[in-house]
């Protein structure tokens, strides 16, 4: 599908989903980011240095780090059952993003794809049908209600109406609906709806890294972040107090999520152990 057609597709998606109470938002001339080839050249993912890489940890220090990593992984990774591996994309990701001014939209779009590439997630080429939709709107509830009204089964699958209503009415700055099955994200479309009114002070880099994290992994809706340095804290307080981008913990989690290994250990515990090996090699 050529870029021009995909621009029209993005516009048509909003037009089809938006009810009358979204007309005012449509008049704001929201720019649409074209879906580019996943093989496009993009800026490198920003790396945050970790002093621990330069340290030689003894057994006690490494064990303490493993415990902290385990707390982090168990606090964020959603699973259906205790011994499940956290869901990840198996199908190639085809992104469609709309609702940001063009320059910011292109940056966020490319950044999300670069994060996916760095993690090892499968990416579709230019000729693809979108399965990851990111909408930025000043009217998230109205948009989600229109989506539920017009395409309930396609978007929400077998979820109950009450569950979807609870999801829509939840006062979150970013709402993500993952369709997962047996540890796979993307068995149905993944929809991410960003509340534009909650983006004051948030940089394009912070937004892109946050969206990359929550789009590529199914994060608990009530994630326990503790004192971890993570982009997932972006909306916990002032954006200036949040990390400028993905932390080493975030990057290591995604990388290991997409490179599973056979182990008799409980999957999330194994991910935590491997994160420490990634962050502080022996």
Could you tell me the residue ranges of all domains in the chain? Answer: 3-35+50-279
Report the alpha-carbon distance of residue 13 to residue 35 in Å, rounded.
14
Predicted TM-score (pTM) of the model is 0.82
Q: Where are the alpha helices (DSSP H) in the chain?
A: 3-17, 23-26, 59-76, 102-119, 140-156, 161-169, 204-216, 248-257, 267-279
DSSP 121-172: --B--SS----EEEEEES-HHHHHHHHHHHHHHHHHTT--HHHHHHHHHS--
| pLDDT, tens digit only, all 282 positions of the chain | 444 334 334 444 444 444 333 333 333 333 344 434 333 333 333 333 344 444 577 888 888 999 999 999 999 999 989 899 999 999 999 999 999 999 999 999 999 999 999 999 999 988 899 999 999 999 999 999 999 999 999 999 989 999 999 999 999 999 999 988 878 887 889 999 999 999 999 999 999 999 999 999 999 988 888 888 999 999 998 999 899 999 999 999 999 999 999 888 999 999 999 999 999 887
Alpha-carbon radius of gyration of the chain: 19
With the CA atoms of 89, 92, 96 and 102 taken in that order, what torsion angle do they form, in degrees rounded to the nearest 10? 100
> What is the three-class DSSP state of 191?
strand
Which residue reads 């960003």 in tokens? 194
């Amino acid at each position: 599908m050529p870029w021009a057609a995909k621009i029209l597709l993005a516009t048509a998606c909003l037009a089809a989903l938006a009810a009358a109470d979204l007309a005012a938002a449509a008049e704001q001339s929201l720019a649409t980011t074209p879906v580019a080839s996943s093989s496009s050249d993009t800026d490198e993912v920003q790396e945050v240095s970790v002093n621990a890489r330069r340290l030689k940890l003894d057994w006690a220090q490494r064990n303490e780090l493993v415990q902290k990593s385990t707390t982090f992984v168990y606090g964020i990774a959603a699973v259906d059952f205790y011994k499940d591996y956290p869901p990840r994309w198996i199908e190639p990701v085809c992104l469609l993003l709309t609702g940001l001014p063009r320059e910011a939209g292109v940056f966020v779009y490319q950044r999300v794809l670069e994060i996916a590439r760095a993690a090892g997630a499968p990416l579709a080429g230019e000729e693809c049908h979108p399965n990851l939709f990111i909408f930025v709107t000043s009217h998230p509830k109205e948009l989600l209600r229109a989506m539920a009204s017009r395409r309930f089964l396609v978007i929400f699958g077998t979820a109950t109406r009450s569950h979807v209503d609870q999801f829509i009415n939840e006062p979150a700055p970013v709402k993500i609906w993952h369709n997962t099955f047996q540890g796979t994200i993307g068995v149905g479309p993944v929809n991410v709806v960003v509340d534009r009114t909650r983006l004051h002070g948030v940089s394009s880099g912070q937004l892109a890294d946050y969206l990359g994290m929550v789009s590529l992994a199914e994060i608990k809706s009530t994630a326990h972040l503790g004192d971890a340095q993570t982009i997932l804290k972006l909306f916990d307080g002032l954006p200036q107090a949040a990390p400028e981008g993905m932390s080493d913990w975030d990057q290591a989690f995604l990388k290991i999520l997409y490179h599973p290994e056979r182990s008799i250990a409980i999957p999330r515990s194994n991910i935590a152990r491997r994160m420490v090996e990634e962050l502080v090699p022996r």
